[in-house]
Amino acid sequence: MRVRVATTALGITAALLAVPACSTDTTGAKHQPSSSLTGKPTDAVQELAALSSAALESRLLDPRDLGSGYLTKPERPAQHDDVTVIGCPALSELGGDAATSGTLAFPHKAKVDFAYGGSSSEISEELYSDSAQKLSEGIGRIFDAMTGCPTYQVVAGGTPVDVTSQKLPAPHGLGDEQWSQLLTFSTGGRSTVVKQTAIRDDSLLLIVSGSLALVDRHLGKALTKATAAG
């Protein structure tokens, strides 16, 4: 079985991030009215203010935003390989059976993948919207679990992938919360290094993954477009 390490890696990360969510797909403004008692938006109000998947789709980067040399990759068909996590109990507890699904289980979501310059360099952007609390708890759990295990193995469809993880300094001054990590995936004598950075801004979650240089180059641009009003 031929395994594309970078693609599999991003799918594994995304599926393990899956958390239950039950809010309806309702489009609303990004900034919500505050509770008269606490001065902070209530969870119910935040859920009603979540952006719809269609609204998130319009806020994704496109090749014009990135510059010359970028091509949008076609959406990959869903994979259903059995996935087992070995050597990282925290990740095993979160569950990995659907780890190649490629998206998180929040109800409002959009995703795009790009290839750069005909090379193996890739970048992926994912947007999710839900209550701030659900986004924070969901993304926090997976980053804590993954960076808490310096080395582990993922077996996807019978193919073992060795993984090493390293927590990176989060980009300060962007959004309300930030997470970042460096992942190395090795299989069949080949290795792929993936940087993954997540930023929560109110009820919107941005995840940018891919080669180090491309993530650093386009993260701020992605956040600016994703959080733009309108």
As a whole number of angstroms, the distance between CA 202 and CA 223 comes to: 12
Give the phi and the psi of residue 136 in degrees, each rounded to 5.
-65, -45
| pLDDT tens-digit series, residues 24-71 | 333 333 433 333 334 444 554 455 578 999 999 999 999 999 999 999
Q: Where are the alpha helices (DSSP H) in 25-71?
A: 43-48, 53-58, 63-66
CA distance 214 to 200: 20
Tokens 């180090």 correspond to 212
Going along the chain from its start, the domains and CATH numbers come out as: 5-24+43-226 (3.40.1000.70)
Taking only the tens place, the pLDDT of each residue in 166-193 is 999 989 899 999 999 999 999 989 999 9
Choose among 171, 98, 97, 94: nearest CA to 139: 94
Q: How many CB atoms lie within 10 A of CB 163?
A: 26
- Residue 12 identity: I
Query: What's residue 120's pLDDT?
Result: 75
How much is the pLDDT for 100? 35
Residue 57 backbone class (left: φ over 0; alpha: ψ -120 to 50; beta: rest): alpha
H-state helical runs in the chain: 5-16, 43-48, 53-58, 63-66, 89-94, 132-147, 212-226
Task: Count Cβ atoms below 10 Å from residue 134 Cβ, excluding itself.
Answer: 23
Taking a C-beta distance cutoff of 8 angstroms, is the pair 57, 110 a contact? yes
- Categorize the per-residue pLDDT at 230 as very low, low, confident or very high, splitting at 50, 70 and 90: low
Each residue's pLDDT tens digit, 203-224: 999 999 999 999 999 999 999 9
